[in-house]
Structure 1
Amino acid sequence: MSDVNFRELRHAPAMPVNFAKAVMRARVKPGKNPQLPNVGLRLNDVGLDAGHLAAYRKVCGFSDDGRLPVTYPHIHAFPLHMALMMEDGFPFPAMGLVHVRNSITQYRPIAEREQLNIKCYLGNLTQVEKGYEFSIFTVVSTGGERVWASESVNFFRGGGSGVKADKGSRGTPEPVTDAIEWKVPGNTGRRYGAVSGDRNPIHLYPLTAKLFGFKRQIAHGMWSKARALGQLQHELPEEAFTVAVQFKVPMFIPATVKFAREEKDGGLDFRVVAKDGVKPHLTGQLRPV
């Protein structure tokens, strides 16, 4: 991060502008030797809107406890993520990327009246079997104290190495038994899009999703993570912890899904699976730091 050239922003990038640029860059190709631009974005003194926070809590299942939901800073970082992918020299089309993994470390609970300083930058470009993966890193501080950090791993399909990664021996997962059932309405993508700014057409309506090859709209991955942590809200540690998730099979909505958790290695493992109790939409691990 020390070599990143950070640019200070006066206000958050407008998401409609970001999406318009993404459409214009839809034909960008990575070439044979893609490189990430050595840039970062910084946005200071981000004040939080009570109405926006309440809407986020409602759609993601968090209760009002005077603290920010652990996934909430991502909402304020996402416009910076999009803006980074609009930078000159960024080698991939943003509309063709898939969010495959996300890890958040919360160093302490964040009070809802604290102002946030946010910085984001790119890194870890890796060629994988079927394409490329890269990370967007985010660090959030308040009053000079680092309180939150994340890594969002995105995948571009195409130009891969063809070499399969050794994932070890993985048996068929046991169906969940002690699970909580969620009913996920068909408007979840529109409701989450309204508070997150992520109005990607694949999340909105059956027709707009079909334009991109989906049979109907799918839930946002970060909504699934937030909803899982909303379910676990009263079990989250007071001390520092990391919660990592892997996004698996898309969740077509409306849907009935199941949430299961178990204590493991001093923390929690959790899953969001289809109604059959097996097909995974999300797997996650929460561990103390």
Structure 2
Amino acid sequence: MTATELNEAPNLAALYLKAVASTPTRRGGNELPDTEYVRRGITVDRDHLAEYNRVCGFGMRDELPPTYPHILSFGAAVRLMTDPGFPFPLVGLVHVANTITQRRPLLVTETLTQRVHLANLRPHPKGRQFDIVTETDADGETVWTESSTYLRRGKPDESAAKSERTATIEAGSPTATWRLPGDLGRRYAAVSGDRNPIHLHPLTAKAFGFPRAIAHGMWSKARCLAVFEGRLPETYTAEVSFAKPVLLPSTVEFTERDTGQDSSGRENHGQNRDFALHSRSGKPHLRGSVR
């Protein structure tokens, strides 16, 4: 794998313009670029973190929210997906799953190094999928990792195994009900840099086949994990799969339950949770687990 150093976060506005301009020329392919982007000396802007916390429902703490390193690495991920060797157009990719493993809490005061690369191009029942893998180091130790899975819709592949759901919670008896405003996509875009037009305005969302703007998947994950703030163990994996988009504005229902067991089947009440996000009509938006 070829490591390329980044001295600063990539310019996301320029990358999105590049993505739009290059969309017609993308021909597809069977390989992902072997580039790895590395950015060192990353520090946290406390004002930016405070605004992220407000949008996603986290409180102000000495520890970073578990989803915040995703924001720090997002520019490098988009750069990978707009590089000449990337086989698919950025526009039209669907974020279908995300897994974060935290080995210990990251402190706001720590200086971080992040490494981002592409991996595991494979068939999907609705096309092809791949992962963006991110590792975050502090004091020379990898303490946070992430795998974000994206789908490129295309010719169905019946040989592809369907993904296992990360939780089986059905609609009903919600733990909380959230009313999501119409400008939520714009607010999250301002703190995340993810200005995909499907999230910003009903008119731009309609151009891509959505009746209204939709919420970002990573906002949904962050908002769900904010419910567990102060209750998560120091080491855990938080996994989600994204189902139907959350239209804005809307009302959604959050449900959680204690699984009572860890990943090996041992009794471990309180620290292993399944959770889900549904519409008021019962349609699933997100299913997740913390282990």
Pairwise same-fold verdict (TM > 0.5): yes
Identity %: 44
Separation (CA, whole Å) in 1 of partners of 2:140 and 2:153: 39
Decide which of 75, 79, 84 is 2:75's aligned counterpart.
79
1:284 corresponds to which of 269, 272, 288? 288
Report the counterpart of residue 11 of structure 1 in structure 2. Answer: 8
SS of the residue 1:23 aligns to? helix
Query: 1:206 — aligned with what?
Result: 202
State how far apart, in whole Å, the 2-side matches of 1:168 and 1:186 are: 32
- Number of aligned pairs? 279
Q: TM-score, length-normalised on structure 1?
A: 0.93
Per-residue deviation, 1:161: 2.2
Change (3 A) 1:190 1:166: closer
Counterpart residue identity of residue 42, structure 1: V
Which sections of structure 2, spanning at least 5 residues, go unmatched? Answer: 263-271
**CA pair 273-67 structure 1, distance change in 2 beyond 3 A:** same
Q: 1:121 aligns with which of 89, 95, 117?
A: 117
2:183 pairs, out of 171, 187, 197, with 187
Q: 1:142 to 1:226 in 2, by over 3 A?
A: same
Q: Does 1:26 align with 2:23?
A: yes
**C-alpha deviations, 1:210-265, integer Å up to 9, x for none?**
11111010000000000001111122112x10000000000001111011100112
CA distance in structure 1 between the aligned counterparts of 2:276 and 2:190, rounded to whole angstroms: 26
CA contact (8 A) 1:28 1:92 kept: no
One-letter identity of the residue aligned with 1:242: T
Residue matched to 1:270? 275
Paired position in structure 1 for 2:245: 250
Q: Counterpart of 2:56 in structure 1: which amino acid?
A: C
Which residue type is aligned with residue 86 of structure 2?
F
Q: Note the alpha carbon deviations across 1:1-25, whole angstroms, 9 max, x for none.
A: xxx1110011110010110111012
Structure 1 unaligned regions, length at least 5: none
Out of 118, 129, 135, the residue aligned to residue 133 of structure 1 is: 129
- Selected match of 1:53 from 49, 52, 62: 49
Determine the C-alpha separation between the residues in 1 that align with 2:56 and 2:163.
Answer: 32
Q: Is the 8 A contact 1:28 1:91 kept in 2?
A: no
Computed over aligned residues only, the root mean square deviation of the Cα atoms, in angstroms, reads 1.7
**Aligned mate of 2:145, from 149, 152, 171:** 149
Distance 2:11 2:163 in 1: 40
Question: Does 2:252 correspond to 1:235?
Answer: no
In the aligned structure 2, how far is the partner of 1:61 from the partner of 1:168?
28
Deviation per CA, 1:110-144: give whole Å up to 9, x if none.
11011110000011000222210000000000110
Counterpart CA distance in 1 for 2:12 and 2:174 is 40
Q: Give the distance between the partners of 1:52 and 1:85, measured in 2 at CA.
A: 25
| Aligned ranges 1:209-220 → 2 under 5 Å | 209-220=205-216
TM-score by length of 2: 0.92
